[in-house]
C-alpha cells in the first residue's frame, strides 16, 4: 500500500472512506508498519514450517442437531436503527432488478 | 472503616459475620466511583439502580443460608464484555447506544456467583491501543499519576481496581491488555490459558489470541475470581473441555524446588534500569524461598510483535466488518444508497486507530499479501510456541518483567509500532496460548508501580498462583 | 462442401455447475435456530446467526455427516483434516460481513457422477463439495424507499457442489441435475425443492471452436429456479456467445441474471473493482478430523443409490428399464412403488399406474407422493381386483377416483357402490332380453348382416348394468339370444 490508489482499493474492500489528509497519514503509517514488519520477518526462513492456525490440538467440537427457541423478534430488532414491519431495512438496492 | 479497601476474601468474611451488609459495601463503592470517576474516567456506565436493587436481594438470600460464593462482591467489566440489558459500547461511537438482549458467559457466571455489577469500564476502542487514550468516551488516567496513562487496552479495569472503584474487574488480553495496565497501575492481572475462559460475549478483536482475565488487588482474589469464571462452555468452540482445579488450593506459601526460567532475550536491551533491578530482587526472593532459577532461551522473541501485529489486525479487520449500521449501533444519517450507508456509518462510527488497524489487517490478508504477511505470521507463531514448549520441558515457570518501562506520560499514542513495544514481554504468551500473570513489585524512582510477570504452561494457572502467592507473601 | 464448412466452424459449449443444496437438518449450521422454510420474518434468529457482537459459532455435527454422505454418494475422496474459513464481503443479507465457508480444505474432493444421454455414458467430474452457511433474504418492494431484510434463512446449512467444466449441452446438464437431485434425496441430505430455493444452480458457460483445448471467457448465470429454466438459459446463452464470437467480438467475463418470463439473460451490475474475499482460517471454529471409525459410520448410513436401486428393481420386479428409470428417478416414488409392488403379483401394472393416472394426479394437484390419500397397499389391492376380474379396467379408474378423494379401501368402495362385475348369467340374460325387447330395429339390422349392431347391443347391456356386466358373458349371451331369435 504505497499510494492513494492502493489505499482506496483496500478502503473499498472494508467500506471505509478517508479525507485527503487522512489518506496521507495512512500512507505514512502503513509504510512505516510494513517496513518494520518486512525488516523483522524477511530475514527469518520459514520455508518448511507449517502455519499454526489453531493453538491447541482440539478438533471436532460440535453441537447436536436440535432446535431451540430463537430470540423473540422484538429483542432481535431492539437495537436496529431502522426497522419496518418486523424487518431490518437498508436504503433500496436498485441493481437487483 | 473504608470498605472499598477490603479484598474479596476480607469482604466475604465481614459480610458472612454480619459486620457489614452487602448494601453498605456496594454503596461505598458507588460513592468512591462518584468521587473519582471524573478525574480517572474508569467507568463508561455505572449501574447504580441495579446495584441498589440487587444488594438487598442477595442479602436476603444469604441470610436464608443460601451458598453464594461471591455474594455481594462489587465488580466491574470491561465494556467489551456483553452484559444483558446494560449498555455495552466497546468504548466506540459505533456501539454508543447498544443494549444487548443476551449475555456473556462470564457475566452469567458472575451473576450466579452473586457478584454485583457496578458498571462497565472504559478501554481503548475495540481493544485497539495500549494506553487507553483511544476511547470515544475520553481517556482513562493512571490513579498513581493522572499525567500518565493507565496502560491499555483495559486501562479502565486496572485503574478502577487500583483506585478502589471496584473490588475486582474483568478485562481481555490479546497481547497484554490485562497484564500491562495491571503493571502500570500496581494490581494483579491474569491472562488465563487460551480456552480456559469462555469468550462467548466477548466482543471480538483478535479471536485466536484473546482471553478474558481477572484484575484484582491480591493473588488470593485472583484465584477466587478465576474459580468463578473458568470452565468449559459449549457455546464457545475454542473453550477447553477440561475440569479445572480449585485455584484457591494453590494459595500456599511454599515453592521449594520450583524451577524458574529467565529468558536471556528479555533482558537484553531497552529495559528500564529500575525494572532490571527489581527483577534481580525478585530472583533473590524466589531463590530464598527455595526456587531454582536458571537462564533459558526463547530465540524467536524478536519476531513476536511482528507476528502478533499481523495476526491481530487481520482478525480484527474481519471481526469489525459486522458494524454496518443495519442491526445495531451507530448508523449514519440521510444515506441514499447502500454503499453510502456502509461507508458513512463505518467512517463516522470508528476512530482513526481502529480504521487504520482494519486497513492494515485487510491488507495483510489481501490476495497478494496473504503469503508474505499472514501466512508468514502463522508460521512464526508456530516457531514461538515451539520455543516455549521446549523451554517448559525443563522449567515450571518463566519469569520476566511485565513491561520494559513503567507508565508513560499521556499524549504519545501516535506511533502504532512504538505503542506495541510496551507489550514486548507480554505478547508471546498470547501467541503460544500460555497463561501469564502480572503481580506488583514495588515502585520506581517516580513512585510508579513496577510489575513482575510469571508465565506458565497451558492450563497450569495453579502453579502461577502458587508462585505469585508465595512472592506476594514474602515481599 | 457447405456442410463441411459448417462443421469446421462448429462450436463446443463448455458448462460447469455450482450447485447449492440446503441440508435437511433440524437446526442451523452454527446455532440452534430452526431451519424450516418460511415463517414470520426474523423469528428464527438469535445473536449467533445475526452476527451480534460477541456471539460465537458452534458447528452442527449433522452438517458434516450430511456433506460427507453426499461426497460418498458422488464418489468423492473425503478430506480427513478439514477446516472452515472466512470469506469476507459486505452485503446486507450477510450479518457478520463474512460467510463462514471452506476454501483450502473442503470436506469432499474429486468425485464424479455417471450420466447417460442419448444412450451414451459419460463421467462428469465433481471438483469439490464444501459446507457453508446460507445468507438471509432481501425483499425489494416496488413501493417504499427501503430494501427489507429477513434473517430467517441466515445460517441454514448448505453444501456447495462444484463440478468440473465437463458438461457440453443443456441435455447433459438436465440429466446431471436430475441425477444429483435424486442422489441428494436418496441420501436424505437435501429435499432439493428448487421452487423454495433449497436447491440452487448457477451455471458457468463458455464456448470454443470444436477441438480447441483452452477454455473461452465464461459467463456465470444466476436466478435459475427450475430445470426447464436452466435448459432455456443454457440454450440462450450458448447461442448468444456463439453469435458474439462469430461476429468477432470477445466474450465479457461477467455474471448474468436469467429472466425466465422474458426468456433472456442480462448482465448484473457489478462494481468495477475486482473482488478480493480475503479468505483466512476461521479462528472461532476448530478443525474437523474424520477418522476411520466416523467415516465407516457415515458410510454405513449411505442408503442404496438410484443406479443400484434401478438395477435391483429391474431384477426383482421384472420391470422394463424404461419403467425402472422413471420410478427410481425419485426416491419417494420408488419407495411407493416398492411398498405397493411387494404386495402385488403384478408389479408392471403398479408401474403403469404410477407412470399414468397417479403421476397425472400428482401434477394436477401439485402434491408430493408422500402426501396422497391412496396408500400403496390400496393401489396393490386395486390392481389385484382388476387382475382377478372382480372389476373391469374401466371401473378401476372410477374406483381410483374415489380412493383419491376418500382414501378408502378399494374392496369397500367396490362393495358399497356395487361395482363388482356381474358374472351371473341368469342376471345378465334378463338384461339381454330386456335390451332385445327395446331394440327391435338393431336386431333387424343384424339380421340384414349389419354385424356392427352387435356392439351396440353389448353397449346397451353395459349401460343397463352400469358397466358391471362381465363383457365376455354379455357377448356370449347376446349371440346365443340372437341365434334363438333368428331360429324362431
Model pLDDT for residues B108-125, shown as the tens digit of each residue: 999 999 999 999 999 999
- Answer yes or no: are the C-beta atoms of B152 and B176 closer than 8 Å: no
Q: Which residue ranges make up each domain of chain A? A: 4-41
Q: How far is C88 from chain A (nearest CA, A)?
A: 9
Q: How far apart are the C-alpha atoms of B92 and B307, rounded to whole Å?
A: 26
Q: How far is B343 from chain C (nearest CA, A)?
A: 11
Question: Residues 26 to 55 of C: which have CB under 8 A from any B CB?
Answer: 46-47, 50-55
Nearest to B237 among C53, C55, C57 (CB): C57
Does C411 lie in the same domain as C314?
yes
- Answer yes or no: are the C-beta atoms of C461 and C478 closer than 8 Å: yes
Residue B231 grid cell: 470452565
Q: How far apart are the C-alpha atoms of C20 and B408, rounded to whole Å?
A: 56
Strands, sheet with C120-133, edge to edge from the N-terminal-most edge strand: C77-78, C108-117, C120-133, C157-163, C11-22, C199-209, C219-222, C254-259, C264-267
Nearest to A90 among B341, B358, B458 (CB): B341
Q: What 3 state SS string does B282-344 have? A: HHHHHHHCCCEEEEECCHHHHHHHHHHHHHHHHHHHHHHHHCCCCCCCCCCCCCCCHHHHHHH
Residue C462 domain flag = yes
Task: Find the domain containing B159 and state its range.
Answer: 3-250
Cβ–Cβ below 8 Å for B195 and A79 = no
Over residues B379-414, the pLDDT tens digits come to 999 999 999 999 999 999 999 999 999 999 998 767
More confident residue, C466 or B432: B432
Write down the residue that cell numbers 430494501 correspond to: C147
What is the domain count for chain B?
Answer: 1
Q: How far apart are the C-alpha atoms of A69 and A67, rounded to whole Å?
A: 7
Q: How far is C270 from chain B (nearest CA, A)?
A: 13
Contacts of B234 in chain C (CB under 8 A): 58
Average the pLDDT over B289-316 and give the result.
96
pLDDT (0 to 100) of residue B20? 97
Average the pLDDT over B321-344 and give the result.
96
Cβ–Cβ below 8 Å for C283 and A54 = yes
Nearest to B202 among C54, C59, C95 (CB): C54
Average the pLDDT over B444-451 and give the result.
96
Q: How far is C56 from chain B (nearest CA, A)?
A: 6
Question: In sequence order, what are the residues at sequence separation of 6 or more whose Cβ sits closer than 8 angstroms to the Cβ of residue B30?
Answer: B46, B48, B51, B118
User: What CATH number should be reported for the domain holding residue C440?
Assistant: 1.10.10.410
Does C432 lie in the same domain as C411?
no
User: What CATH number should be reported for the domain holding residue B116?
Assistant: 3.90.1300.10
Nearest to C278 among B95, B238, B366 (CB): B366
pLDDT (0 to 100) of residue C409? 92
Q: How far apart are the C-alpha atoms of C430 and B198, rounded to whole Å?
A: 92
Average the pLDDT over B157-164 and give the result.
98
Over residues C308-364, the pLDDT tens digits come to 999 999 999 999 999 999 999 889 999 999 999 999 999 999 999 999 999 999 989
Is B205 exposed, middle or buried (CB count within 10 Å of its CB: 0-12, 13-18, 19+)? buried
Residue B435 domain flag = no
| Per-residue pLDDT at A97 exceeds 50 | no
Q: How far apart are the C-alpha atoms of B82 and B87, rounded to whole Å?
A: 8
Does C118 lie in the same domain as C75?
yes
Contacts of A89 in chain C (CB under 8 A): 146-149
Does C266 lie in the same domain as C401?
no
Residue B271 domain flag = no
Torsion of CA A26, A27, A33, A34, to 10 degrees: 140
Contacts of B388 in chain A (CB under 8 A): none
Residue C158 domain flag = yes
Q: What is the DSSP string of B456-468?
A: E-TT-HHHHHHHH
Domain limit, last residue, from C416, C447, C462: C416
Contacts of C140 in chain A (CB under 8 A): 92-93, 96-97
Q: How far is A80 from chain C (nearest CA, A)?
A: 11
Residue A73 grid cell: 423478534
Give me the residues of chain C with pLDDT under 70, please: 1-9, 270-273, 488
Q: What ipTM was reported for this prediction?
A: 0.96
Nearest to A67 among C33, C273, C285 (CB): C33
Residue B180 domain flag = yes
Q: How far apart are the C-alpha atoms of B459 and B463, rounded to whole Å?
A: 9
Q: How far apart are the C-alpha atoms of B223 and B252, rounded to whole Å?
A: 12
Residue C225 domain flag = no
Cβ–Cβ below 8 Å for A55 and B432 = yes
Helix axes C306-317, C321-328, angle to 10 degrees: 140
Residue B167 domain flag = yes
- Answer yes or no: are the C-beta atoms of A75 and C132 closer than 8 Å: no
Residue A16 grid cell: 471505509
Q: Where are the beta strands (DSSP E) in C93-145?
A: 98-101, 108-117, 120-133, 137-140
Determine how β-strand C157-163 pairs with β-strand C59-60. unpaired
Contacts of C268 in chain A (CB under 8 A): 95
Task: Find the domain containing C362 and state its range.
Answer: 304-416
Cβ–Cβ below 8 Å for A67 and C278 = no
Rg value, chain C, Cα: 31
Cβ–Cβ below 8 Å for B237 and C88 = no
Residue C406 domain flag = yes
Instruction: Give rounded-to-5 percent helix, strand, coil for chain A.
Output: 40, 10, 55
Helix axes B376-391, B304-319, angle to 10 degrees: 130
What is the domain count for chain C?
Answer: 3
Residue of C nearest to B325 (CA): C92
Q: How far apart are the C-alpha atoms of C15 and C17, rounded to whole Å?
A: 7
Does C322 lie in the same domain as C289?
no
Cβ–Cβ below 8 Å for C97 and B321 = yes
Question: Residues 38 to 97 of A: which have CB under 8 A from any B CB?
Answer: 40-41, 44, 46, 49-56, 58, 61, 63, 71, 75-76, 78-82, 88, 90-91, 93
Q: How far apart are the C-alpha atoms of B161 and B4, rounded to whole Å?
A: 10
Residue B8 domain flag = yes
Domain limit, last residue, from C378, C398, C416: C416
Over residues C422-461, the pLDDT tens digits come to 878 888 888 888 888 888 888 888 888 888 888 888 888 8
Question: In sequence order, what are the residues at sequence separation of 6 or more whose Cβ sits closer than 8 angstroms to the Cβ of residue C229?
Answer: C258, C260
Contacts of A10 in chain B (CB under 8 A): 359, 362-363, 366
Write down the residue that cell numbers 446467526 correspond to: C49
Question: In sequence order, what are the residues at sequence separation of 6 or more whose Cβ sits closer than 8 angstroms to the Cβ of residue C389?
Answer: C421, C423, C470
Residue C116 domain flag = yes
The 10 Å Cβ neighbour count of residue B138 is 12
Residue C83 domain flag = yes
Mutate to test the interface with A, among B196, B356, B414 (most CBs of A within 10 A): B356
Alpha helix positions (H), C61-169: 61-73
Cβ–Cβ below 8 Å for A71 and C46 = yes
- Answer yes or no: are the C-beta atoms of A67 and C49 closer than 8 Å: no
Distance between start and end Cα atoms, chain A: 36
Q: How far is A5 from chain B (nearest CA, A)?
A: 13
Determine how β-strand C199-209 pairs with β-strand C219-222. antiparallel
Does C382 lie in the same domain as C282?
no
Amino acid at each position: 500500500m504505497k499510494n492513494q490508489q492502493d489505499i482506496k482499493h483496500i478502503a473499498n474492500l472494508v467500506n471505509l472512506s478517508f479525507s485527503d489528509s487522512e489518506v496521507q497519514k495512512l500512507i505514512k503509517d502503513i509504510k512505516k508498519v510494513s517496513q518494520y514488519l518486512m525488516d523483522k520477518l524477511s530475514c527469518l526462513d520459514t520455508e518448511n514450517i507449517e502455519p499454526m492456525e489453531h493453538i491447541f490440538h482440539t478438533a471436532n467440537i460440535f453441537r447436536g442437531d436440535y432446535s431451540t427457541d430463537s430470540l423473540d423478534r422484538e429483542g432481535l430488532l431492539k437495537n436496529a436503527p431502522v426497522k419496518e414491519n418486523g424487518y431490518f431495512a437498508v436504503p433500496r438496492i436498485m441493481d437487483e432488478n | 472503616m473504608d470498605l472499598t479497601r477490603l479484598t474479596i476474601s476480607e469482604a466475604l468474611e465481614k459480610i458472612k459475620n454480619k459486620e457489614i451488609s452487602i448494601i453498605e459495601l456496594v454503596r461505598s463503592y458507588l460513592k468512591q466511583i462518584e468521587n473519582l470517576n471524573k478525574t480517572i474516567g474508569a467507568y463508561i456506565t455505572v449501574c447504580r439502580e441495579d446495584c441498589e436493587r440487587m444488594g438487598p436481594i442477595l442479602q436476603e438470600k444469604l441470610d436464608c443460608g443460601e451458598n453464594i460464593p461471591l455474594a455481594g462482591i462489587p465488580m466491574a467489566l470491561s465494556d467489551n464484555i456483553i452484559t444483558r440489558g446494560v449498555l455495552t459500547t466497546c468504548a466506540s461511537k459505533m456501539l454508543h447506544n447498544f443494549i444487548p438482549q443476551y449475555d456473556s458467559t462470564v457475566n452469567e457466571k458472575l451473576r450466579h456467583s452473586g457478584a454485583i455489577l457496578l458498571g462497565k469500564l472504559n478501554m481503548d476502542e475495540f481493544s485497539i491501543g495500549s494506553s487507553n487514550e483511544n476511547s470515544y468516551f475520553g481517556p482513562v488516567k493512571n490513579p498513581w499519576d493522572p499525567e500518565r496513562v493507565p496502560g491499555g487496552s483495559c486501562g479502565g479495569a486496572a485503574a478502577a481496581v487500583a483506585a478502589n472503584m471496584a473490588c475486582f474487574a474483568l478485562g481481555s488480553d490479546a497481547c497484554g491488555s490485562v497484564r500491562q495496565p495491571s503493571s502500570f497501575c500496581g494490581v494483579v492481572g491474569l491472562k488465563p490459558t487460551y480456552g480456559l475462559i469462555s469468550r462467548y460475549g466477548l466482543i471480538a478483536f483478535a479471536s485466536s489470541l484473546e482471553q478474558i482475565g481477572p484484575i484484582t488487588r491480591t493473588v488470593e482474589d485472583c484465584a477466587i475470581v478465576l474459580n468463578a469464571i473458568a470452565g468449559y462452555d459449549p457455546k464457545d468452540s475454542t473453550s477447553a473441555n477440561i475440569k479445572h482445579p480449585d485455584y484457591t488450593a494453590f494459595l500456599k506459601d511454599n515453592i521449594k524446588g520450583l524451577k524458574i526460567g529467565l529468558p536471556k532475550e528479555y533482558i537484553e536491551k531497552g529495559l528500564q534500569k529500575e525494572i532490571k533491578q527489581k527483577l534481580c530482587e525478585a530472583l533473590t526472593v524466589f531463590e530464598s524461598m527455595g526456587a531454582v532459577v536458571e537462564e533459558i532461551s526463547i530465540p524467536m522473541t524478536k519476531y513476536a510483535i511482528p507476528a502478533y501485529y499481523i495476526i491481530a489486525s487481520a482478525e480484527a479487520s474481519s471481526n469489525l466488518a459486522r458494524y454496518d449500521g443495519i442491526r445495531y449501533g451507530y448508523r449514519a444519517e440521510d444515506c441514499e444508497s447502500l454503499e453510502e450507508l456502509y461507508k458513512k456509518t463505518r467512517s463516522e462510527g470508528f476512530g482513526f486507530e481502529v480504521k487504520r488497524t482494519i486497513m492494515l489487517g485487510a491488507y495483510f490478508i489481501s490476495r497478494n499479501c496473504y503469503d508474505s504477511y499472514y501466512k508468514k505470521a502463522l508460521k512464526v507463531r508456530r516457531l514461538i510456541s515451539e520455543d516455549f514448549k521446549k523451554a517448559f520441558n525443563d522449567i515450571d515457570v518463566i519469569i520476566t518483567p511485565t513491561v520494559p518501562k513503567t507508565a508513560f506520560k499521556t499524549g504519545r499514542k501516535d506511533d502504532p509500532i512504538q505503542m506495541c513495544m510496551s507489550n514486548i514481554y507480554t505478547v508471546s504468551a498470547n501467541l503460544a496460548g500460555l497463561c501469564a500473570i502480572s503481580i506488583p513489585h514495588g515502585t520506581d524512582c517516580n513512585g510508579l508501580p513496577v510489575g513482575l510477570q510469571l508465565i506458565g504452561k497451558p492450563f497450569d494457572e495453579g502453579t502461577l498462583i502458587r508462585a505469585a502467592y508465595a512472592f506476594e507473601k514474602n515481599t | 462442401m457447405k456442410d463441411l464448412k459448417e462443421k469446421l466452424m462448429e462450436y463446443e459449449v463448455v458448462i460447469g455447475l455450482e450447485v447449492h443444496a440446503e441440508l435437511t437438518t433440524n437446526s442451523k449450521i452454527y446455532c440452534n435456530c430452526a431451519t424450516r422454510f418460511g415463517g414470520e420474518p426474523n423469528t428464527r434468529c438469535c445473536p449467533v446467526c445475526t452476527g451480534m457482537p460477541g456471539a460465537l459459532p458452534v458447528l452442527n455435527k449433522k452438517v458434516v455427516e450430511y456433506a460427507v454422505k453426499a461426497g460418498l454418494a458422488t464418489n468423492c475422496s473425503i478430506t480427513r483434516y478439514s477446516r472452515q474459513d472466512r470469506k469476507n464481503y459486505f452485503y446486507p443479507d450477510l450479518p457478520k460481513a463474512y460467510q463462514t465457508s471452506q476454501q483450502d480444505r473442503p470436506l469432499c474432493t474429486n468425485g464424479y457422477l455417471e450420466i447417460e444421454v442419448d444412450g451414451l455414458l459419460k463421467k462428469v467430474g465433481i471438483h469439490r463439495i464444501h459446507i457453508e452457511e446460507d445468507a438471509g433474504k432481501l425483499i425489494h418492494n416496488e413501493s417504499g424507499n427501503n430494501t427489507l431484510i429477513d434473517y430467517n434463512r441466515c445460517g441454514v446449512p448448505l453444501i456447495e457442489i462444484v463440478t468440473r467444466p465437463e458438461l457440453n449441452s443443456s441435455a447433459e446438464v438436465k440429466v446431471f441435475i436430475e441425477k444429483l437431485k435424486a442422489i441428494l434425496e436418496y441420501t436424505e441430505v437435501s429435499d432439493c425443492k428448487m421452487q423454495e430455493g433449497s436447491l440452487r444452480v448457477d451455471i458457468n458457460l463458455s464456448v470454443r471452436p470444436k477441438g480447441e483445448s483452452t477454455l473461452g471467457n465464461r459467463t456465470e448465470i444466476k436466478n435459475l429456479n427450475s430445470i426447464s429454466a436452466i435448459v432455456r438459459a443454457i440454450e440462450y446463452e450458448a447461442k448468444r456467445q456463439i453469435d458474439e464470437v462469430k461476429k468477432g467480438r470477445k466474450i465479457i467475463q461477467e455474471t448474468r441474471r436469467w429472466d425466465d418470463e422474458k426468456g433472456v439473460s442480462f448482465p448484473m451490475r457489478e462494481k468495477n473493482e475486482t473482488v478480493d474475499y480475503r479468505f483466512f482460517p476461521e479462528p472461532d471454529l476448530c478443525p474437523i478430523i474424520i477418522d476411520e471409525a466416523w467415516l465407516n459410520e457415515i458410510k454405513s448410513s449411505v442408503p442404496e443409490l438410484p443406479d443400484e436401486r434401478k438395477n435391483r428393481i429391474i431384477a426383482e420386479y421384472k420391470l422394463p428399464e424404461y419403467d425402472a428409470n422413471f420410478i427410481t428417478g425419485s426416491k419417494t416414488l420408488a419407495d411407493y412403488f416398492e411398498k405397493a409392488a411387494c404386495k402385488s403379483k403384478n408389479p408392471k401394472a403398479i408401474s403403469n399406474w404410477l407412470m399414468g393416472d397417479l403421476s397425472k394426479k400428482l401434477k394436477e394437484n401439485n402434491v408430493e407422493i408422500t402426501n396422497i390419500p391412496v396408500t400403496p397397499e390400496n393401489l396393490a389391492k386395486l390392481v389385484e381386483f382388476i387382475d382377478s376380474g372382480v372389476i373391469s379396467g374401466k371401473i378401476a379408474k372410477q374406483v381410483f377416483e374415489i380412493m383419491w378423494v376418500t382414501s378408502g379401501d378399494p374392496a369397500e368402495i367396490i362393495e358399497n357402490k356395487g361395482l363388482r362385475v356381474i358374472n351371473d348369467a341368469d342376471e345378465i340374460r334378463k338384461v339381454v332380453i330386456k335390451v332385445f325387447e327395446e331394440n327391435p330395429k338393431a336386431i333387424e339390422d343384424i339380421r340384414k348382416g349389419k354385424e356392427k349392431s352387435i356392439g351396440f347391443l353389448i353397449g346397451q347391456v353395459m349401460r343397463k348394468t352400469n358397466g358391471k356386466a362381465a363383457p365376455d358373458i354379455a357377448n356370449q349371451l347376446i349371440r346365443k339370444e340372437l341365434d334363438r331369435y333368428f331360429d324362431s
